[in-house]
Amino acid sequence: MTAIQLFQQRQSEPVCTDLIQMIRDGMIRRLKRFVVEPYDDGITWGIQTVAIATPDADDGDQFPVVIVDLHEDDQAAMSFALSVFDALKNAGRASGEDVCQWRRSLFTLVPNY
């Protein structure tokens, strides 16, 4: 049994874990951190995105939400990241300048040896 199956069995109500949909639905106020990194558990290799987000709460602060998405390759992870940034902008949670800065931060300087 996987962790996802166990999680689904314990839930009485469906829970949205799609970061982009959560942003569109107004459930996410802002990203505290967004990381694109390699994932390797010894069996599977891929790229993962880890988002730490502040939920939108009318009754005060809540604990941050952490969402990890696995992607097959760099291109899929980068496309996902750009979609997240655009969703934040479209929801009014980020400015165009913020999105430009986040996009630039995805570039990594690779030394030529």
pLDDT digits over 18-44, tens only? 899 999 988 888 899 999 998 888 888
What tens digit of pLDDT does each residue of 78-110 get?
Answer: 999 999 999 999 999 999 999 999 998 887 655
What pLDDT was estimated at residue 67?
92
Confidence of residue 113 (pLDDT cuts 50, 70, 90): low
SS3 23: helix
What pLDDT was estimated at residue 65?
86
CA dist 33 and 102 (Å) reads 11
Burial (Cβ within 10 Å: 0-12, 13-18, ≥19) of residue 44: exposed
